[in-house]
Amino acid sequence: MKKVIIIGGGASGIMAAISAARKGAGVTLLEHMDRVGKKILSTGNGKCNYTNRVQDKSCYRGENPSFAWPVLKQFGFGDTLKFFLELGIYPKEREGYLYPASGQASSVLDVLRMELSRLSVNVVTGADIKEIKKNQRGFHIETSQSSFHGDACIIACGLKAFPKSGSDGSLFPHIEKLGHTFIDIVPALVQLKAKQSFFKSIAGIRSDISVELYVNQKLIARDRGEVQLTEYGISGIPVFQISRFAARALAENKNTQAVLDFTPYLSMEELKEELNRRFYREGAKKDCEEALIGFFPKKLIPVLLKECEIEIHKNAGILTERELKKLAEEIKYMHITITGTKGFEHAQVCAGGVNTEEINPETLESKLVTGLYFAGEVIDIDGICGGYNLQWAWASGYVAGLHGAE
Ligand SMILES: Cc1cc2nc3c(=O)[nH]c(=O)nc-3n(C[C@H](O)[C@H](O)[C@H](O)COP(=O)(O)OP(=O)(O)OC[C@H]3O[C@@H](n4cnc5c(N)ncnc54)[C@H](O)[C@@H]3O)c2cc1C
């Protein structure tokens, strides 16, 4: 019987263990926390968005995003659906996003743990890795608990996102000792900090906003949806979707700006027409603040006016056309200077990881060390928000486990 050792008991490591054990291997899963799958419990706000029906190449990112595709071809959306249905997870779908019908991420972890137990996977928790040695007989892994031997070793230790769930980077020196290199790791799917001090006064606003990211004046990414304005800057799913590019640009000291459009549902012409109506045709007895009530959240109005140097209590009807044009431009193209991201502890995933040039995309075996495999976030692939990161974890875990057991 082939012996497979997996380091890291997150989504990808658990999947790798199941995949290898189903192939008949004797599997040991080493996890340094007191239990496996802690991060799974926090996914999807505790509901676990475990995959997405829409699978497109643009949903996966990295230095070489197409690396993900041979892996996802072996275990795609349909395979995830079937795998979990067989384990007991009845899918509940919302606009392509899949959740367990129980509404509980804990059910996903429960069925995975039941399957690990059914397959007699040896799960060792509290195992701090001291050394990974490769010799002609395979892998010798020294831990705080005991030492283990494997014919194959799968590394599924994640990166640094949400470190309280165990992904703390403690395995990186061992990976480097085996000869592998990393693409710089930055937080992704994370909130962005802004320089402008007015954010303190508009914190708490949630609105349909389009957000564009410019790096050195070049448009890099855009998204639209409910953006949250916070005291430090911007958050919400559209911000998460563009954040990995901002994080990378900031790490490279590049000029990083976001442009917010507070009326993405109106063209510039339609917006100007609406402002004309509010200020000139119906604004005679209103001041500028009053003219905008009902159009924008109340806290936002003084900020928009101040940024255009328009006195808030000035009579709306006497605003010059130049001032009104400036206001329209502020509403459509508010420039925000991005100064940073929130830290790893706030990030849902990281961008970066083990360089995909060093890994075979068909098997996920290292090109440098025979018998060594990688799975999950530790590989330089990150997905957009919406079930793609777990889909990557399941798919890469399946592929690494399958080939590791062969
Ligand atoms: C709050 C939050 C919500 C999320 N929601 C979603 C969602 O709804 N849908 C989605 O698709 N994705 C979501 N994600 C992302 C998704 O959870 C991750 O991409 C995925 O769990 C990564 O799995 P992984 O197994 O590769 O890594 P991890 O889950 O990070 O697991 C790595 C494991 O390795 C262990 N480990 C690390 N170092 C060592 C070591 N030295 N020795 C032994 N063990 C070690 C860790 O303790 C951990 O158990 C969310 C993430 C967060 C933080």
CA nearest neighbour of 371 among 122, 133, 169: 133
Per-residue pLDDT tens over the stretch 292-312: 999 999 999 999 999 999 999
The helix (H) or strand (E) run that includes residue 78 is helix 77-87
Strands 138-143 and 129-135: antiparallel
Q: What is the dihedral of CA 373, 378, 383, 389, to 10 degrees?
A: 80
Q: Which residues line ligand 1 (CB under 6 A)?
A: 7-13, 30-33, 39, 42-44, 48-49, 129, 156-158, 161-162, 166-167, 170-171, 348-349, 376-377, 387-390, 393
What is the distance in angstroms between the CA of the first residue and the CA of the last residue of the chain?
10
Per-residue pLDDT tens over the stretch 40-59:
999 999 999 999 999 999 99
Question: Is 67 in contact with 396 (CB distance < 8 Å)?
Answer: no
pTM of the model: 0.96
Atom index in ligand 1 nearest the CA of residue 48 equals 8
Q: What is the pLDDT of residue 77?
A: 98
Query: How far are the Cα atoms of 124, 203, 296, 312 from residue 302, in angstroms, in the given order?
Result: 58, 13, 10, 6
Residue with tokens 């502020």: 330
Query: Identity (one letter) of the amino acid at 198?
Result: F
Q: Is 384 helix (H, G, I), strand (E, B) or coil?
A: coil
Residue of the CA atom closest to atom 6 of ligand 1: 43
Q: What is the CA radius of gyration of the chain?
A: 25
Nearest CA-CA partner of 130 in 17, 27, 32, 33: 32
Give the position, in ligand 1's atom list, of the atom nearest the Cα of 377. 26
pLDDT for residue 354 is more than 90: yes
Measured in Å, residue 285 CA sits from the centre of ligand 1 at 57
| 193 CA distance to ligand 1 middle (Å) | 24
Query: Is 351 within 8 Å of 186 (Cβ atoms)?
Result: yes
Q: What whole-number percentage of the chain has pLDDT above 90?
A: 99
Q: Given this model, what pLDDT does residue 315 score?
A: 95
Return d(Cα 219, Cα 214) in angstroms, integer: 4
Report the pLDDT averaged over residues 342-367: 98
Query: How remote is the CA of residue 351 from the centroid of ligand 1, in Å?
Result: 13
Give 113-128 pLDDT, tens digit per residue: 999 999 999 999 999 9
pLDDT of the residue at 283: 83
For 179-218, how does the pLDDT look when each residue is reduced to its tens digit (9 = 90+)?
Answer: 999 999 999 999 999 999 999 999 999 999 999 999 999 9
**How big is the chain, counted in residues?**
406
Residue 284 has pLDDT above 90, yes or no: no
Residue range 156-178: average pLDDT? 98
**Ligand 1 atom closest to Cα of residue 165:** 47
User: What's the CA gap between 146 and 124, in Å, rounded?
Assistant: 10
155 in Cβ contact with 373 (< 8 Å): yes
Q: Report the C-alpha gap between 7 and 190 in whole angstroms.
A: 26
Q: Which domains does the chain have, with CATH numbers?
A: 3-186+353-405 (3.50.50.60), 191-342 (no CATH)
pLDDT for 178 beyond 90: yes
DSSP 174-240: HHHHTT--EEEEEEES--EEES-TTHHHHTT-EEEEEEEEEETTEEEEEEEEEEEE-SSEEESHHHH
Q: What is the pLDDT of residue 300?
A: 97
Structure tokens at 275: 């402002």
